[in-house]
Amino acid sequence: MAPVRRLVAIVASVLWTCGPAAALLVQAGQSAPGMQAAPGGAAMDAEPLVLHAYSLRYQQAIEAIPLIKPLLTSRGTLELQPAGNTLVIRDTNAALARIVPQLRAFDHPAQPIRVEIQVVRASRNLVSPPARHSDLPDALTRQLRQLLPYEIYELQAQAQLASQEGQAVAYDMGNDYEVSFRVGTLLDAKNLRLSNFAISRRAPGPGRRQVTLLARGSLMLCLDQTISVALTRSEGSREAQLFIVTARRGEPR
């Protein structure tokens, strides 16, 4: 599996340029992008700690934890109270002055999100002279060909999924693929996590079809920018399976 993870990281670095605040997680359990906590010091240690409880009205409090943790000082603590959808923060007044406005901006009414997914078969051309074919837009095809050793990109399935922040999604893409994920909360009006993202393939056959999990993890997206995840047996394989994902604000067209 190691070659697969390396290839995924390479694809993301070219096609996804949201900025240093975002990251691609290719395995469940990997951490979100690291951020430096506020610097501490002797003067800060002398400041008294203040308790502040913030109950979220619209968004899930657990989703705000990765946003708040980097803003805590070395003495600060954060407690989740799921029953009241509340975060209890103990930290200095200066830290709370940074944290509370971030929570207020985070706790906005759920916005509609549409997620566009394409399943693509990429392959090398073994004939000479090589024929080049792609069902994808020209700009995306050029980027993929610069990065991957494949000339042919054939669209196998696609979908536009209507959702909103905080909603779980499960969808059958034709007869062959299943996709599921949970839409997170928009951060800075542009960054969006799709957690528990999974794509499976159903094998044809009599009776109940066998379902094979192809990819699982979490994706951190930038609205209106495309990320492509490639799965292959090795970096020298003749074929690869691509999953191309774009998140946009609003309903499907």
Q: Where are the domains of the chain?
A: 2-30+111-249, 42-106
> What pLDDT is stored for residue 5 in this prediction?
40
Mean pLDDT of the chain: 80
**For the segment 56-107, what is each residue's pLDDT rounded down to a tens digit?**
999 999 989 988 999 999 999 999 999 999 999 999 999 999 999 999 999 9
Nearest to 14 by CA among 226, 243, 245, 248: 226
Question: Is pLDDT larger for residue 13 or for residue 161?
Answer: 161
Q: In percent, how much of the chain has pLDDT > 90?
A: 47
**DSSP string for 163-194:** EETT-EEEEEETTTEEEEEEE---BTTTEEEE
Is the Cβ–Cβ distance between 124 and 238 less than 8 Å?
yes
> What pLDDT is stored for residue 215 in this prediction?
85
Whether the pTM exceeds 0.95: the reply is: no
CATH code of the domain made up of 42-106: 3.30.1370.120
